[in-house]
Structure 1
Amino acid sequence: MTPDVATDALSALDGLLGDGGESDGTSATDADRASGSGGPLIAVEDLSLSYGDLSVLSEMSLFVEPGEFVGLVGPNGAGKTTLLRAINGVLEPESGRVRVGGETVADLSSRAASRLVATVPQDTTVAFDFSVEDIVEMGRTPYHGRFGGDPDAAEAVDRALERTETARFRDRSVASLSGGERQRVVLARALAQETPALVLDEPTASLDVNHQVRTLELVADLVDGEGTAALAAIHDLDLAARFCDRLAVLADGDLLAVGPPSEVLTAETVGAAFDTDAAVLANPVTGTPAVTPLPNPGESDLRVHVVGTGAATARVVSTLVTAGTTVTVGALPDGDVAAETARQLAAEVVTAPPFGGLDVETEAAARDHLAAADAIVAVGPLPDALRSLVRGREPVVRVAADDASATTVLGGDGDRDAGSPGRPRAGGSPERDSPTVDAAARATPETVALGVRRALDGPASADD
């Protein structure tokens, strides 16, 4: 493919890789020198940008160091794409400036800017029916001289195809690829550009789960291995937390928070950015923050105390809070996922040291909550210490923790927990399986709240 053909194609691809004009006299080694200029490699300084009368970015500052992967997160319309397009030189700031490798991007030609910043756009549609290899080779266009080719092109293209696992269809038409495959080809094109800075706009949006992880692993490896500075707009907060060194939370054109994922992804920040309630807990596998959006809570005048431990108890706490119920929890061990969930949802929780019994003070605090509650939810099977707390108390809503359907069992006097024999299984008949049960349902916010109401209105007893 000739440089002229590549240039025409690049113009159709939003001018992201160069304008095809005359060489400005700089060479491929300028990009190498830029990465060693000291200080942040990408520097956004007091940047403001508008579309007509609509202000999109307002006096924003953000810095990305060499060898750093920063995730840009925020709701739709927050200005993420606009920021990326200012960094790669497609949009010119109204005020402030963007520097890459010490160079002010707005002062550079498109060709010169393309030797500093490579872009993976959100829209990967290609207007021309080129082969995959031709598309990836377009990443080398900024290095084509007016009268000569690029001696490093073949090696750079091969490396990019291998790294993105697209070499096996290098000769296929890009029009024959799936959306996910095409996304990886566009990423390969950006890698072939071999720039010190890389910006990505929703690079995982059209990929399946496996390739989402693989793509972000690839970017992280590039950053770690070659000192690239990468800034990516990522819609999946959990993936962003897992792979990025830092996160920048953008909303309404302003940065709300910038820092390590564990410090930035809090319920307060997520709520402010996305206008939603959320629970933020540590992923049990990766240890990184995991964000769970919560439905808008309903309204209820009930006060319910939850007794139990583990993930099932955490789900019950969440469903009750979602239903608008005032929830207290405990006693349960420090560090238990149910305790962390309760704290995230601003529910009062009584905790005790793990692997120890209940001391007098902790037991008294739990019993105070039990006495103040309109109803008790016991998530079983309960340890002996917790079973003793609810023994003899009414009304009790029991939740079977070991059933995938989280069947709730209503009624009883609290003397038999949900893990006891006779508890109805999912799909079983409550009336047949237990004489103390008056209803059973899946544990949704509505059914748990209804279960508490029904228990209050007329709990069954062992004498019924």
Structure 2
Amino acid sequence: MSGDTESGSPLRTSPDPLVEIADLRVGFGDATVLAGIDATVDSGTFLGLIGPNGAGKTTLLRTLNGTLSPDTGGVSIDGRDVHTLSSKAASRLVATVPQDTTVTFEFDARSVVEMGRNPHRSRFGTWREADNDAVDRALDRTDTRQFADRPITTLSGGERQRVLLARSLAQETPLLLLDEPTASLDINHQIRTLELVRKLVATGKTVIAAIHDLNLAAHYCDELLLLADGDVAAHGPPASVLTESALEDAFDANAVVSRHPVTGSVYVTALPDGRAADSERAAGRVHVVGGGGTAARHLYVLDAAGFDVSVGALNEGDTDTEAARSLGLDVVTVDPFAGVDPAAREAVERRIDDADCVVVADVEVGTGNLPNLRAAASADEILLIEERPFSDRNYVGPEAEAVYDRLRERGRVVDPANLRRAVVETVGGTHREFGSAPARREGLPTDRSR
């Protein structure tokens, strides 16, 4: 090894994988948790461990850091069998940030970070300048120097986690393990933590993290390792691991996999249940107005219920377009970034005329897709999904507001969780009297400022 990263850890130059897991089997009593795991992880990789509860993610992490000994097989880190090393030697190879960030002693934050230097010091060794430098770098990288003199028990959960991450960085190991780093954190701290980890990986650190949020894992990780039934169900880039068939097999989940309209990352949307049997499928045709991923979940719900669903007009490449095509739905499209032209609007109008009900998703409205809303306003039965105020989604101004007012006058606002029931009732005639009445809401406030 030669050179240094920004974090002060040695820069590994070996072409071999940093982590090699071979036929790893771990059990507790008669229960087998890991049943022959084989995997390798290259240096400078962010690997996300995903899988259902009880799949063995935490067990694998504990085996990687040497806490658990395997029944058979082994783990090699930087060419060394971690289970043949002393605890101190293993701690110079791998550092761990636990899921539980509780610290019961009144240590100040800097003292906690200084604990990360223990693997590099002899029992009676003096504190060196190199130790100070490592601690200072760790505090700076995690933006925790501001907490240095505060008792760690006074910090929030997200702040404590950053301090424990700083402690692990002070160990200056080539491998960093994190057990559910976003658990119990608000969205701001989740993103802040994973952004920090991504920066560490960019400097050469190798990170393996158990992550329960599949969409965060897909966005931040270079590779995913999907565990199921004690074995590796899939391993590779997020797009190759997060497939609908793999999620169904591993999680027994009905989900749609698409691309996030903003980040472009693989995006997983879980659905409430599977597709209805032919004998249970609902009758009726529904046209959906969406765009930018606002309709994907509704398309799956309505198709699973058995409705004949059409959607559009949508841009080619849109997340909703991908979802519609994956279901084999009737979709009207226009070119990427193009507006709804007269031919597309005519196609939409034909589908609306044929539909028993039109669903307008929580879509953002610009001049390009305003014709979709104009066409929807002519429908006999309209259901509106409002998850954001229309003012937050309106990029046209008074013209779009007038069209949306018309939709609300003639339609009914429903909570997305109640969409299937609302469509069944509407198509079945339960709400025919609402065709010309002011918008009614199910479980939602009636003012427009929500």
Q: TM-score, normalised by structure 2?
A: 0.78
Residue number in structure 1 paired with 2:69: 92
1:338 correspondence with 2:320: yes
Q: Report deviation, 1:135.
A: 1.2
Q: Report deviation, 1:357.
A: 5.8
Residue pair 2:357, 2:426 contacting (<8 A) in 1 also: no
1:283 correspondence with 2:260: yes
Among 53, 58, 65, the residue aligned to 1:76: 53
Residues 284-320 of structure 1: CA distance to partner in whole angstroms, max 9, x if unpaired? 2221112221112565332424253425544542442
> Max radius of gyration: which structure?
1
Q: Report deviation, 1:115.
A: 0.5
1:162 correspondence with 2:137: no
List aligned pairs for 1:32-43, cutoff 5 A: 35-43=12-20
**Equivalent residue letter for 1:39:** D
For 1:239 and 1:49, how far apart are their aligned partners in 2? 28
CA change 1:363–1:161 in 2 (3 A) is same
CA change 1:403–1:194 in 2 (3 A) is closer
Q: Report deviation, 1:329.
A: 3.8
- Give the secondary structure class of the aligned counterpart of 2:21: strand
- Give the secondary structure class of the aligned counterpart of 2:60: helix
Among 137, 146, 161, the residue aligned to 2:114: 137
For 1:385 and 1:176, how far apart are their aligned partners in 2? 53
CA change 1:221–1:389 in 2 (3 A) is closer
For 1:328 and 1:245, how far apart are their aligned partners in 2? 36
CA change 1:158–1:451 in 2 (3 A) is same
1:214 correspondence with 2:192: yes
For 1:442 and 1:105, how far apart are their aligned partners in 2? 53
Q: Report deviation, 1:458.
A: 8.5
Worse overlay, 199-208 or 313-322: 313-322
CA change 1:222–1:332 in 2 (3 A) is closer
1:48 correspondence with 2:32: no
CA change 1:260–1:440 in 2 (3 A) is closer
List aligned pairs for 1:222-261, cutoff 5 A: 222-225=200-203, 227-261=204-238
Among 306, 309, 334, the residue aligned to 2:287: 306
- Cα root mean square deviation, aligned: 3.7
Residue number in structure 1 paired with 2:381: 397
Q: Report deviation, 1:138.
A: 0.9
Please list every run of 5 or more consecutive structure 2 residues that lacks an aligned counterpart in the other structure.
391-400, 438-450
List aligned pairs for 1:177-216, cutoff 5 A: 177-216=155-194
For 1:122 and 1:461, how far apart are their aligned partners in 2? 55
For 1:370 and 1:421, how far apart are their aligned partners in 2? 17
Identity of aligned residues (%): 46
CA change 1:246–1:460 in 2 (3 A) is closer
Q: Report deviation, 1:384.
A: 6.3
Residue pair 2:23, 2:36 contacting (<8 A) in 1 also: yes
CA change 1:41–1:422 in 2 (3 A) is closer
Q: Report deviation, 1:253.
A: 1.4
For 1:422 and 1:135, how far apart are their aligned partners in 2? 58
Q: Report deviation, 1:422.
A: 7.2
Residue pair 1:279, 1:294 contacting (<8 A) in 2 also: yes
1:453 correspondence with 2:431: no
For 1:120 and 1:247, how far apart are their aligned partners in 2? 19
Q: Report deviation, 1:363.
A: 8.7
Q: TM-score, normalised by structure 1?
A: 0.75
Residues 34-62 of structure 1: CA distance to partner in whole angstroms, max 9, x if unpaired? 93343110111111111111110111112
For 2:11 and 2:435, how far apart are their aligned partners in 1? 76
**Equivalent residue letter for 2:107:** F
Equivalenced residue count is 405
Residue pair 2:24, 2:35 contacting (<8 A) in 1 also: yes
1:64 correspondence with 2:41: yes
**Equivalent residue letter for 1:451:** T
- Give the secondary structure class of the aligned counterpart of 2:406: coil
For 1:36 and 1:210, how far apart are their aligned partners in 2? 35
For 2:428 and 2:389, how far apart are their aligned partners in 1? 21
CA change 1:386–1:154 in 2 (3 A) is closer
Q: Report deviation, 1:248.
A: 1.1
For 2:111 and 2:432, how far apart are their aligned partners in 1? 72
Residue pair 2:385, 2:415 contacting (<8 A) in 1 also: no
- Give the secondary structure class of the aligned counterpart of 1:48: strand
